[in-house]
Structure 1
Amino acid sequence: MSPPGWHPDPGHSGIGPAQERWWDGTRWTEHLRVPPAAIRRRRTRVAVGVTVGVVVLAAIGGGVFLLQEDGDDRPGTAATAPRPAPSGSPGPGAPDGNGGDSGGNGSGGQGPDGQIPPTEKGYATDLASGISLPVPKGWTGRSGTVGAGLTTGEYACPGNSGEKCVRGGVFSAPAVALKLDATTAEAAAKKDIAVNAEESYGEKIYGGIASHEQLKSGPVTVAGQKGYAVRWKVVTEKGDDGYVESLAFPSPASEDLLVVVRSGFDVNAGAPKLSVLDDITKGIKAAAGGAGTGRTA
């Protein structure tokens, strides 16, 4: 039997970059990562989403799920839904294929160093950032060693019907994982908003952004920390317009670690109201057990 460690993902379909899955010695867990060697060789790009144990991740509003790679310099724009854990028989005690989502509160298996993302009922936990995001009723939450995510309302992307978008998405990650060169919450939020908007509603997903309007930019208290939020309304070339927000604040577990929460809500009768986003922000709390290491590998 193989010892615990990172091994080629037995559920890899052959589409997209090869990944590694964490084997805990008895079963395959939900932890996935892009091999470090591959990250060093090529630029990374993000497709939509957040997955347990991803080395570097970005959260794209409107639905982001899995860090991928590409050889070019363009940011990723394909809104791919999260691939579930292998549903076949890749190994003893393999996950049942539900992707780690359970009762609206995703959880990951044991990962490197024996760490397990805390599973609190009604919350999705970002272990590296030391925070937990409240999961609204009807939403899907996913916890991770690096990053956490909330999504609702999956549908075919207007710019590419072969890809999946969501009506609402909220994702967290340490600022260092997003390569943000900022030392304050205000600077981080202001730098991140344009990237968030482009990755959420730009290029092939929605045909690009025609214009944007800033709805707010100011301080906000999150999990007892003094943070900063910037919110835009973007007009797209295809499909629905959208609201995007970049929120930054010090981790409640470590004031030296900045956390970024990216959000994206469609402007659509079937999309969540902006009041839901405000409720999520108010409900963000320190994760049980602390953490907040900010590690991305």
Structure 2
Amino acid sequence: MSTPPAPPGWYPDPGAAHAERWWDGTAWTAQVRRAGGVPELPDPVEAAYGTGFGPPGSGDTSPGPARRPVRGRVVAVTLVGAVLAAAIVTGIAALGTGDDPEIRVTDPGAGPTTPHPPTSAPAPGPSASGDPHLLVDELNNISVPVPAGWKKTGDLDGLPTMVTEKHYPCPGATTYCDQGRVSTTTAREDSAGDNSPRAAAEADIEDTAAHAYDRDGAGGRPFDGMTGHREVAAGPVEVAGRQGWFVRWRVSTRTGPGGWAQSLAFPAPTGAGAVAVVRFTLDTGPGAPPVSLMDTVTRGIRTLDESR
């Protein structure tokens, strides 16, 4: 006698650790949230666009005029009872020159199998989130390599983030600054409804630069504010086998050496139409990472299926 499937509800996502997916009683749906019922927490800019989490039919209560795609929106897994084979071509982004710092990237592994209907909370599959050499964004289904001399900081400002191990007293505040920071998020559509990687990168770069060099998340001015910027590079780039776009600025500040800011956008490998954004900021002072590190990290971005 077969065991009846579990009733509708939230269960651990078999394809992403630390996330839960809605089971409608017969099949997995595209609804996803963080484990424990806690939705992905956006940064202050994202908060204005709502989260849209909840079981099917709960609706998106975004009050803003431009809806932001939910970072946890993932392609629904169909119950076909067979092994899901994933073969994704990884891309190489050659954006700059210079000596690349050491990067450790986990070799691609086998993708997850298609889950069977749960009779209880399904056991999570293997995850790359515990690898110290990978910054994992499970809700965008990507991993970013952590360079030597860098460390993961958890979800800083609600975003998966890594920073340089070395820090220094901020020249414009009584706090400490990192020489580099990389974080991941999901783009929101512009006012015209354009959700392309180019539109996403061009819309995000100002926030990326301002958050690091103008006013931080606590409202402080670690460099006494930005005094200007100039675009030094922009164009198409292939990321994890997907066509993306990047915009890079050289930023000047009132105090301190200034730095580099880059927004890299590409279709998130979730099949839900979302656009992933990787934000880079690097100082230009003595001992700071070379700007070529942005290109090195970009070349190491993978889907989670490849990272497991």
Instruction: Please state if 1:184 is matched with 2:170.
Output: no
Query: Given the superposition, is the C-alpha separation of residues 180 and 134 from structure 1 closer, same or farther in structure 2, using an over 3 Å criterion?
Result: farther
Matches within 5 A, 1:134-283: 134-142=145-153, 147-152=159-164, 153-161=166-174, 163-176=175-188, 182-203=194-215, 204-254=221-271, 256-283=273-300
Q: CA deviation at 1:179?
A: 11
1:113-157 residue CA offsets vs partner (Å, 9 max, x unmatched): 987773335211001111001011121024669742221022222
TM-superposed deviation, 1:277: 1.4
Cα distance in 2 between the residues matched to 1:58 and 1:258? 19
SS at match of 1:271: coil
Shift in alpha-carbon separation, 1:169–1:235, aligned structure 2, 3 A:
same
1:131 to 130, 138, 142: 142
SS of the equivalent of 1:254 reads coil
Alignment check: 8 A CA contact 1:123 1:133 kept: yes
The answer to whether the Cα contact below 8 Å between 1:249 and 1:258 also exists between their aligned partners in 2 is yes
Q: Is 2:136–2:142's contact at 8 Å kept on the other side of the alignment?
A: yes
Q: Which structure has the larger Rg over C-alpha atoms?
A: 2
Unaligned runs of 5+ in 1: 1-21, 23-30, 37-52, 60-103, 106-112, 291-297
Cα displacement string for residues 234-292 of structure 1 (whole angstroms, at most 9, x for unaligned residues): 110011211000111111232501111111000112110011111001101001389xx
Partner of 2:8: none
RCO (CA 8 Å, sep 6+): is it higher in 1 or 2?
A: 2
Which secondary structure state, in structure 1, belongs to the residue aligned with residue 274 of structure 2? strand
**Aligned residue in 2 for 1:57:** 43
CA contact (8 A) 1:247 1:260 kept: yes
Give the direction of change, closer, same or farther, for the CA distance of 1:123–1:196 in structure 2 (3 Å limit).
Answer: same
- Which amino acid in 1 is paired with 2:172? G
CA contact (8 A) 2:188 2:195 kept: no
Structure 2, gaps ≥5 residues long: 1-17, 19-33, 46-103, 106-121, 216-220
| Residues 44-83 of structure 1: pairs in structure 2 closer than 5 A | 55-57=41-43
Q: Aligned partners of 2:289, 2:183: CA distance in 1, in Å?
A: 15
Separation (CA, whole Å) in 2 of partners of 1:261 and 1:148: 10
CA distance in 1, matches of 2:147, 2:238: 20
Tell me which amino acid in the other structure corresponds to 2:205.
I
Please give the alpha-carbon distance, in whole angstroms, between the structure 2 residues aligned to 1:262 and 1:180. Answer: 23
Going by fraction, where is strand more abundant, 1 or 2?
1
Q: Secondary structure at the match of 2:179?
A: strand
Tell me which amino acid in the other structure corresponds to 2:285.
Answer: N
Deviation digits for residues 200-233 of structure 1, max 9, x if unmatched?
1014121111121111110111111110000000
TM-score normalised according to structure 1 size: 0.56
State TM-score, norm by structure 2.
0.54
Q: How many residues align?
A: 194
Letter in 2 for 1:140: K
Distance in structure 1 (CA, Å) of the matches to 2:274 and 2:141:
10
